[in-house]
Each structure stands twice: as structure tokens, then as C-alpha cells.
Amino acid sequence: MRLRIKAPSPAQVRYDPYRMGVNQSTLTAWLTCREKARLRLYEGIEKAQKAKPLIQGDIGHKLLAQCYRENPKDVASCLSEMIGQAEDNVLKTGSTTMQEEIETLQMMEALLPVYFEQYKLDMCMHWRYVEHSLVIPACKLGVSIPYICQIDGGFIAPDKPDRLLILETKFKANWTQGYIDSLGLGLQTVSYIAAAHASLPEKPSQMVYNLIRKPQLRIKKGETRKQFVTRVQDDIQTRRDFYFQRYKVSLSPSDISKATQRLRALISEFEAWHRKCTLFPGEQDLCLNGEACSGKYGPCPYLERCTSGTSVGYSRVLHPLNSAYADQPLQ
């Protein structure tokens, strides 16, 4: 994957967590590998191109958000119109990820109408928040850095007017029981509930994980778009539970208090690291986590930089010992 140095924009010149806050994505990168966080935050180095699963997730989230926001009577035609417009825009802009975006829109055309059939009662909910940003001010958290996050949705069921549920959607090719079991423990659950509790008047304590499986079928040679959409929809219709699953996690008042403490402890540690990186840039703790170099979306985008020694000053390029060396002793 190519890397590019971002042109320094006024906001990018210096990452200022005291003003800009820290979000879940930054905390996750920092927990995964300090060097990854350092390159992203302080060196302004980002991925030149987003990984395909992230593009798919972005498009899927945008389409869902628009449907929940507009609450149309005929969701299928609204989706078809939105997807048509989105495709026109993608073709006009001619982005470098055009192919992935068009394929994703085709996939969503097949997937989302069945999703809305499966969860038709979603349209009876009161969607009080859609793609809504939450902030826990630093003083409320007892640290010096505010925490920010964005929830996909917050809804109220007609028969439970006093209870807000947070919805978080995941588009995934696959998931395991282990993944499902880990959702309740993840930073996202604790930090989102803590943030919602601290900043929304409704004080929610429950979160619904909305898992949507991305179909792995691809358009065949000679197949029309309509035939492809019908084939994918037939597959989804015959095994909806395979494609769509939801799980609810509830936090008690004591869990929420512990979640807030956990967030406070993490942000305090993050702040100490930030101060070290910025006050003593030559002496920062170059903590590479080699276990994280091969991630769920493929190799880390900084792998070439790290192995070549650009970051750490020593090279870790592996020399292949292929069959030409088979009859030579190892040395």
C-alpha cells in the first residue's frame, strides 16, 4: 500500500489533543501500536488509499444513516435512487477507489432492501440521533483531554418511550462466536456508553450491535446487473439469519462507572505518551508492536517504513532462503 505525506494543513501541523480531543480510532491505534499512532498523529503520514472493507463500511453506514434519517415510506425505491445518485457522483469524481466504490454500491443494492425487509420495525422507531457526535469534556472525565466519538444511531421504541438504545452497525465478511463474545468487552462499548451517559439527556445503558454480512458473491461474466442483484438477494432471502444478526449488551450503573474509570485511565496514559512524544521528540519511546503488523485488513500501511528502518533506525528486511539455498548449511 502506498503512503503519502499529508500536505500540512493548519489543523494537521500539530495534533493538539487538549483542543481536538481523542477519539476511539486514535485510542485503538495507540493501543495496537504506539509507533502507528505516532506516525499518524505527529508525522502526518496516512494511508494513500483506504482498505476495501473500510470503503464498504463507509458507504454502507452512509446509506443506512440516510434511510434512518429520512424514514421514507418506500425504502427500496429510496435506496435505489440514493445508490443511483451515488454511482453518478463516483463516476464524475473518478476517484482512485472508483472500482471498489461501484462494486460496493452494487452489493448494497442487493443487500439493503432485504435488510430493511428483515428489520421493517426499525422504521417505526423514533430515531432521535443518527450519526451523532458525543463529547465527554475533559473536566467531566477528570483528565486534561476530552473524549469524542460518533454513534451510528440512537433510537427509542414506541412502547419504551423512556429508554434510548445506541445502535452500532458492523459490515463484515465474516464473524465468529469469539468476535461476538468480545463485543461487550471492547473499548467501543464501554466508551460509547460512557460518552452517551455523560452527554445525552436520556442516559442510555444499552447498545445494540447490528451485524451485516457482506455477500461474497461476485458478478459473473455475461451477467447483467439486475440478474446479479436478484441472485444475491435470492441467497440472502434463503438464509437471512446468516446475513443479519443483532446483539444487545446492557451495562449496569456500576458497569458504567467502571467504564468511565477505564476511559479515564486510558486517556491519562495516552496523555503521558503524548507529552513524551511532543516534549522530547528525539527521545520518544519507539514502541513497535510487531504482533500488530499484519492486521485484519491486511498488512499495516506503515510496514515498509518500519521494516526498512526509516522509523527506528535499523532494518528488519527478511532475506528469503529459497530452494537455491536448500543444499547449503544454514549460516
Report helix, strand or coil for 81.
Answer: helix
For cell 495507540, name the residue: 30
Nearest to 61 by CA among 22, 112, 118: 112
Q: How far is the CB of 218 from ligand SF4 (least distance, A)?
A: 30
Beta bridge partners of 165: 155, 206
**Closer residue to ligand SF4, CB minimum distance, 76 or 303:** 303
**Closer residue to ligand SF4, CB minimum distance, 164 or 300:** 300
Stretch that binds ligand SF4, among 48-56, 157-165, 234-242, 286-294 (CB under 6 A): 286-294
Stretch that binds ligand SF4, among 29-37, 220-228, 233-241, 249-257 (CB under 6 A): 29-37
Among 33, 82, 141, 195, interactor with ligand SF4 by CB under 6 A: 33
**Closer residue to ligand SF4, CB minimum distance, 237 or 310:** 310
Report helix, strand or coil for 21.
Answer: coil
Count residues binding ligand SF4 (CB under 6 A): 12
CA distance 100 to 102: 6
For cell 467501543, name the residue: 188
Q: How far is the CB of 268 from ligand SF4 (least distance, A)?
A: 23
Stretch that binds ligand SF4, among 85-93, 109-117, 290-298, 319-327 (CB under 6 A): 290-298
∠ CA 245-248-253, rounded to 5°: 170
**Closer residue to ligand SF4, CB minimum distance, 84 or 299:** 299
CA distance 137 to 195: 9
Q: Which of residues 299-318 bind ligand SF4 (CB under 6 A)?
A: 300, 302-303, 306
**Closer residue to ligand SF4, CB minimum distance, 142 or 290:** 290
Nearest to 8 by CA among 36, 39, 49, 44: 44
Nearest to 153 by CA among 130, 187, 170, 169: 130
Which DSSP category does 150 fall into? E
CA atoms within 13 A on the CB side of 160: 10
Beta strands in the chain (DSSP E): 3-5, 22-23, 45-47, 126-136, 147-156, 164-172, 206-213, 244-250, 294-295, 298-299
Binding of ligand SF4 at residue 152 (CB under 6 A)? no
Q: How distant is the alpha carbon of residue 63 from its chain centre?
A: 15
Q: How far is the CB of 5 from ligand SF4 (least distance, A)?
A: 15
Q: How far is the CB of 51 from ligand SF4 (least distance, A)?
A: 14
Q: How far is the CB of 192 from ligand SF4 (least distance, A)?
A: 25
Among 216, 289, 308, 315, interactor with ligand SF4 by CB under 6 A: 289
Among 148, 187, 208, 293, interactor with ligand SF4 by CB under 6 A: 293
CB-CB contact of 47 with 299 (8 Å)? no
**Closer residue to ligand SF4, CB minimum distance, 271 or 304:** 304
Q: Please report, as a single letter, which amino acid is at residue 330.
A: L
Binding of ligand SF4 at residue 288 (CB under 6 A)? yes
- Residue 109 grid cell: 443494492
Binding of ligand SF4 at residue 277 (CB under 6 A)? no
Q: Which of residues 112-151 bind ligand SF4 (CB under 6 A)?
A: none
**Closer residue to ligand SF4, CB minimum distance, 36 or 197:** 36
Residues that bind ligand SF4 (CB under 6 A): 33, 35-36, 288-290, 292-293, 300, 302-303, 306
